[in-house]
Structure 1
Amino acid sequence: MTSMGKTRRTVSVGLCAAAVAAALAAPAHAAQAEPTSGDKAGTAGRSPSWSLKQTGADVRFRGLAAVSRSTAWVAGSKGTVLRTGDGGRSWRNVSPPGAGELEFRDIEAFDSRRAVVLAIGEGEASRVFRTEDGGASWTESFRNTDPKAFYDCITFFDSRNGLAMSDPVDGKYRILSTGDGGKSWKVLPSAGMPAALPGEAAFAASGQCLVSSGRKDVWLATGGGATARVLHSADRGLNWTVAESTVPAGDPARGVFAVAFRDRTHGIAVGGDYRPDQASPQAAAVSGDGGHSWQQAKTPPPAYRSGVTWLPHSKRAALAVGPTGTDLTVDGGHSWRTVDTGSYDTVDCTADFGCWASGEKGRVARLEF
């Protein structure tokens, strides 16, 4: 890239960052100034806001991988994988052949051609597929053969090194590791994994129960047990520490559903009770020490949230999504306000302000300015 090209890109990112900062600084009541359709975050002309993209699908997309403002992948029920390369104006169905009975819940993409997708379920229903040609062909690189294992989430540190996690097997979470971009997988030793609580598990609701930041740090979010916990490894899954969060648990439907770290220190956890008839108080927490301790959000989201992401080029702004809406924080996760009432399960952002969300009934949206 020429120096002029670099300058233009820097200026563009700077202008976008300035626009986002100005929009996020708007008073909280601005989001309530007019009735919304549930897909826009406020009055006409106000930005940023979600813009729905027509996918032509009716499945639930809990798996999402944002590559850029133009490129994104989504994965969901009925073995469905879609990809866009034009900002959501059109979508290509690139589902693996014969995967119609599988439930895809997480997808990690490195660019427009390379992606790894995880199917969840007991025993052989848990599988990993990978593509290197934009989904034109897929290779099944892992099939679980242990009937006690149930894989929930997958994450990558870079284009070669990644992990996948299963609910507890013989009292401990099971971790898969790859060092070749998902071509092959091996089960890591369990000696460095703390014991799981009775009834504890992870939630395959948004592909964000296992997340990484940097070259070696990874976090695992849990619920269902007496307390909702967050486990942390600083060596790519070999050894783990554990911390209790402030998000309520004590029931199979409650706990931390998603975590996001903008670096190896600053994290946000969201969750609650996924049952629509149950309240979800204290459904968000923040950490400033890499997940070793968590503090309850002073003003949490008003309901269960299953996905969370930091906004690009910001140290304090993040979005949380769930079936009843999207919430925004501009103080690092301590206080949240609802900015949209549309239903989404997961959310992901890229450095060029490519923020995407996906959910039920084929819903996919991009944040517009």
Structure 2
Amino acid sequence: MRAAVYRRFGGPEVVRIEELSKPRPRRGEVLINVRASTVSAADYRARTKDVPKGLKLVTSIALGFFVPRFRVLGMDVAGVVEEVGADVAGFRPGDEVIAMLGSRFGGHAEYVTVQQGSALTAKPRNMTFEDAAALVFGGITARALLSQVQLAPGASVLVNGASGAVGTAAVQLAHLAGSRVTAVCSAPNSDLAHSLGANRVIDYTRTDFTQETNVYDLVIDCVGNATFEQLEPLIKPNGALVSVISDLTGVINARSRSRRTGKRIIAGNVTYLSGDLADVARLASTGRFLPVIDKIYDLTAIAEAHRYVDTGRKRGNVVVRVTASPMPGPNAASIINIPVTPSVIS
């Protein structure tokens, strides 16, 4: 099978297309013929080992100290079940599925195996594989984090980094929960944030949101560019802070900060559950949750996809087309696609 392989840490040029042996499903595993995946911020961090302060040792244990432990990146996939191992129930060859692979990666290849009990669910029938792949990373991450807080209708929510994969998902899910959403992003992404459900947008290039007097029931930080001391005053009593990106101090001190402030502080690893992914897929199947796609690249242009993600300017998701996807049926949901430069699609 074809796969995008990296054998050393570094820039986009370290990722190259190679031929690898096709995996076989073991007991309890599902073999997926991958049609599409994404290049996410997690792929960037794994490839470069550019991680938040204090997490270098922890991530090196997971990713490898001197050479990559997992040679194929890609945390999410959309594809077709090719084969199932013994004792697999609920999936059979031919099923169209989406899956979150998490820290074991492997999505940037024509085939990958997934445990049936992991974050694996049916693909929305009204979407192409490329569109469905764009649901996974941001959607399941935002859903998992929001499930840890109680959002009453009318709650006020601030999303810092509202134009990224997790941010665009968080804005939509908070809006669907009946919240009043304030999005922090750059001015060119203002229309996008409003279209996803944001009631107000703060242009971070003109206004420092941490200096405003407004307070919120929930602050979701998808960027990690503000300290806890800057964010804590923005949270109402009994409110919550969700740090999608946090350094070691933030992870270690989350519980003590919660006790000290009386505010729920959530930081650290996300547990990916099939139920959360299925919830996102159900919302997408009815058009209530929309995947946001910035650019689409063919697998052969994987290095270019990584190079674009490295700019830090992607909006929503950068999709990698592993195998061409057929067009969806007439009841397809509306997908938000940022205009794609034709030269990057092959």
Decide: shared fold, TM above 0.5: no
Higher relative contact order, chain-length normalized (CA < 8 Å, sep 6+):
2
- What is the TM-score normalised by the length of structure 2? 0.30
Q: Which of the two has greater strand per residue?
A: 1
Q: Which of the two has greater helix per residue?
A: 2
